[in-house]
Chain A
Amino acid sequence: MGIKRLARDAVLTAAALTIFIVELQLPELVPIPGVKLGLANIVTVTALFTLGAPDALAILLCRILLGSLFAGNLMALLYSLSGGLLSFAVLLLMRKLLTKKQLWVASVFAAMAHNLGQIAAAILVTSTPSLLVYLPVLTVSGIVTGLFTGLTAQYAVGRLKNVLKK
């Protein structure tokens, strides 16, 4: 890995971490586990669509790991990882199906996948299948937040493509 690439990915990881930590300070919107804006995913989506899968995955994993360390919530690592990896897989799949102007669509489906992965992990960990009742609510929240992060990422990709690719 070249120094330039390393530095660029590190800056993006730092940006994602900052967004993640700031979002933690915001008051909860609803007391449902798993409902959050997921603003740090703007960086994941932007990285994937400008730099490609390996860099984006590295940034995502570093952010999840350091994020749960900094937040003092290592127990949440499992949920973040399962949600993060599933949504990344969906992003990869959707990337092939979309034009540049439809980038936000990938983010919407990725957000839904993220919440699905989190519920699956929670069901496995707590052995409580009835947690599935949260799936519809989390799907609604995933669509809304995914739309927001997706549109933001789409604008960011448009602006940053040339800067980041250098």
Chain B
Amino acid sequence: MAKTGTWVTIILVLLVLAIAASLFLRLRPAGGTIAEIYVDGRLERRVDLSGVTVPTRFTVETERGVNVILCEPGRIRVESADCPDKVCVDFGWLQDSAAPIVCLPHRLVIKLTGDAPIDAEVG
């Protein structure tokens, strides 16, 4: 049986590592203004947020439900959704962050990339 102190040390080391990694990921910019919307892992839509001049709204509908997505210059969010937990709506604006917006019930992911917009469409 290991001493309690050993366990506390292991947990503390893990905690510090995890906090450092979260801060690193939070501070690291996404490095792009292309918003990609995936459903079930398939690319559903690409929006070049730097090309958005007026607030634009569109819906992504799947057999699981509906997410209403709002684009503004440089940022994007899920405005409303009929999923049970509303985590995607509460996330708020996605803007220069490596962490994607996720709606797990609807299997919808929105993330920013800096890839060259080959087939970018606005709105």
CB within 8 Å for A140 and B1 given contacts A75-B105, A79-B104: no
Contacts of B38 on A, CB cut-off 8 Å? 126-128
For the complex, is A3 an interface residue (Cβ under 8 Å from B)?
no
Q: How far is the CA of A72 from the CA of B1 in the complex (A)?
A: 43
The number of residue pairs between A and B whose CB atoms lie closer than 8 Å in the complex comes to 99
Whether the Cβ atoms of A136 and B109 lie closer than 8 Å is no
For the complex, is B98 an interface residue (Cβ under 8 Å from A)?
yes
Contacts of B14 on A, CB cut-off 8 Å? 112, 139, 143
Whether the Cβ atoms of A33 and B104 lie closer than 8 Å is yes
Range of interface residues on B (Cβ < 8 Å): 35 or more
Main secondary structure of the interface of B (DSSP, over half): mixed
Whether the Cβ atoms of A105 and B100 lie closer than 8 Å is no
Contacts of B84 on A, CB cut-off 8 Å? 71-73, 75-76
Whether the Cβ atoms of B109 and A75 lie closer than 8 Å is no
| Interface residues contributed by chain A, number (CB under 8 Å) | 34
Q: How far is the CB of B107 from chain A (nearest CB, A)?
A: 5
Q: Looking at the complex, which of A10-18, A37-45, A53-61, A93-101 is the stretch in contact with chain B?
A: A93-101
Q: Which residue of A lies closest to B64 (CB)?
A: A75
B-facing mask of A118-143, CB < 8 A → 1, else 0? 00001001111011011111011001
A-facing mask of B74-113, CB < 8 A → 1, else 0? 0000000000110100111000001110101101110100
Whether the Cβ atoms of A128 and B100 lie closer than 8 Å is yes
Within 8 A of B (CB), among A81-122: 97-99, 101-102, 105, 108, 112, 122
B residues whose Cβ falls under 8 Å from a Cβ of A: 1-2, 4, 7, 11, 14-15, 17-22, 25, 38, 40-42, 64, 84-85, 87, 90-92, 98-100, 102, 104-105, 107-109, 111
